[in-house]
Structure 1
């Protein structure tokens, strides 16, 4: 039986998603919890496949993964609960996992579902506090501070160059046997307006409280998939343009000549969050997975 797991996590305390020996990772914590609940002697008996492998320090709000479990093993976690195996697993996982990983839902996956290869789009958001303004201490783990005021007009001109099917070799490294060719659907910089949590008449003026993200600069990017370090390297390049340190011609050259070099390295991980992963209708899941496994080209 294939199960879909929707989860969120604060990546600040993890060495990324992927399991690594002797390091704390999201996959490692999740698989350890699953093996414990399902009473498996060897954690290698349960492996989760994720939609997007986040790097060290990167967060996720809408991460998706799948795991294959036999019905007999799944039912073993019911115990005295008045619930089916899926409901029992969800309740126990929520109890066992650390506080920085939150299970949003667990469901039986439809036929053909693959968390990684069936995905249509992934949405990331990068948050910046610019102009040297103090970062709200409640957001310090999710926002990157920049001392200069960023020119969002120039940054959006750069971001528009990324939309479409391109080789992002200047901003990413491929997996073994893979490519850095990706299709960006949307890329936009914007500043969150200073909005009150409670709106009303003059009677509430003395109790004005701003929305937590008010004033932050946010970069939203949507693509079919992302190569390693691609989002943070694109953000860093746009920020260099927005600070006046690099020109739009420089950015255009990096898009035209996909060669990695020092000035297009990744920016700080803390500002990046995987916000959402979208999938096609159930009857198109298998076909999508089969198509995306093919090696990409620019044709």
Structure 2
């Protein structure tokens, strides 16, 4: 019996999050079904199937990690042939029995923020206030038993007509990253002062923060205290990259059609 780790990429658009839910499409549900069909596991509980990140509905990933026990050899492309095209196993590794996939040292998230004329200097000031250990009660969807979290870094850069916000931390509450981005964006718009972050992180009362949309959030990867010798599958990576390029071209063409329709509606008499 061996313990196997798989690095998983997926487009979260059509899934109701990672974690299995009755009668709803989820990433975990598809993965377990594929592993069962491939004959690698029978019951996920018996195989001690676990995942590092339970991403929300609509959130994407380039490096989530799952583990399970199996007596069989694991072939990445055998699993990928069963999975839908918007989920791909990118790499596999054998790990020691005591490896705990749910507890990485760092989680790397990236949010793509589409907005115009934001003040990058003020945004960076607000972002810096999240770094360190704070009470993130106001940045979770629910009441948490332990809302204290440590954020290693929040970095922002401007790229063409959007902003890339990279957030690195050990662990995150439900909707925490998206609520952080909302506050940073509001500071960039001048709707609130950067000092408001200090108030939100030292809550005397619970304040509701509307989270940013989930479809712009990507779980980039995870870092563990031990070195995992992932064997990347070049074909799987190339296949997933091709799928992303195809979808990008499809959306680009659809966007151009809508732009032409909009412009024609305005100009045609």
The TM-score, its normalising length taken from structure 2, stands at 0.78
- The one-character-per-residue Cα deviations of 1:46-80 (angstroms, maximum 9, x if unpaired) are 453111110000000111111122x1xx2xxxxxx
Task: Give the corresponding residue for 2:253.
Answer: none
What's the secondary structure of 1:248's corresponding residue? Answer: coil
1:251 CA drift (Å):
2.1
Deviations 1:122-163 (A, max 9, x none): 0100002222xxxxxxxxxxxxxxxxx211111111111111
Structure 1 residues 260 and 175, CA gap change in structure 2 (3 angstroms): closer
Aligned twin of 1:230: 176
Give the conservation status (yes or no) of the 8 Å contact 2:137–2:143: no
Give the conservation status (yes or no) of the 8 Å contact 2:130–2:197.
no
Q: Deviations over 1:204-240 (max 9, x none)?
A: xxxxxxxxxx442011010011111100010111111
Gaps spanning 5+ residues in structure 1: where?
A: 75-84, 132-148, 193-213, 284-299
In the alignment, structure 2 segments of 5+ residues that lack a partner are: 229-269
Q: 1:68 to 1:40 in 2, by over 3 A?
A: closer
Cα distance, 1:233–1:260 mapped onto 2, change above 3 Å: farther
Q: CA separation in 2, counterparts of 1:186 and 1:258?
A: 25
Query: Residues 141-199 of structure 1: CA distance to partner in whole angstroms, max 9, x if unpaired?
Result: xxxxxxxx2111111111111111111111114687x411111001111112xxxxxxx
Q: Secondary structure at the match of 1:238?
A: helix
How far apart are the structure 1 equivalents of 2:108 and 2:77?
Answer: 28
Residues 171 and 260 in structure 1, CA contact (< 8 A), matched pair in contact too = no
Aligned to 1:10: 11
Q: Secondary structure at the match of 1:166?
A: strand
- Is 1:217 paired with 2:163? yes
SS in 1 for 2:108: strand
- Residue 110 (structure 2) aligned to one of 122, 125, 146: 125
Q: Could you tell me which residue of structure 1 aligns to residue 255 of structure 2? A: none
DSSP 3-state at the match of 1:4: strand
User: Alpha-carbon deviation of 1:26?
Assistant: 0.4
Q: Report if aligned partners of 2:138, 2:203 keep a CA contact under 8 Å in 1.
A: yes
- Distance in 2 (CA, whole Å) between partners of 1:156 and 1:234 is 12
Q: 1:245 to 1:189 in 2, by over 3 A?
A: same
1:94 maps onto 2:80 in alignment: yes
1-structure distance, mates of 2:40, 2:51: 22
Matched residue, 2:55? 54
SS for the counterpart of 2:137 is coil
Equivalenced residues, count: 227
4+ aligned runs moved over 3 Å, structure 1:
39-47, 173-176
1:110 Cα deviation from its structure 2 partner: 2.7
Q: Alignment partner for residue 166 of structure 1, among 134, 138, 141?
A: 134
Q: CA–CA distance in 2 between the matches of 1:160 and 1:66?
A: 34
TM-score normalised per structure 1: 0.71
Question: Following TM superposition, by how much is the alpha carbon of 1:91 offset from its aligned partner in structure 2, in angstroms?
Answer: 2.3
Give the equivalent residue in structure 2 for 1:152.
120
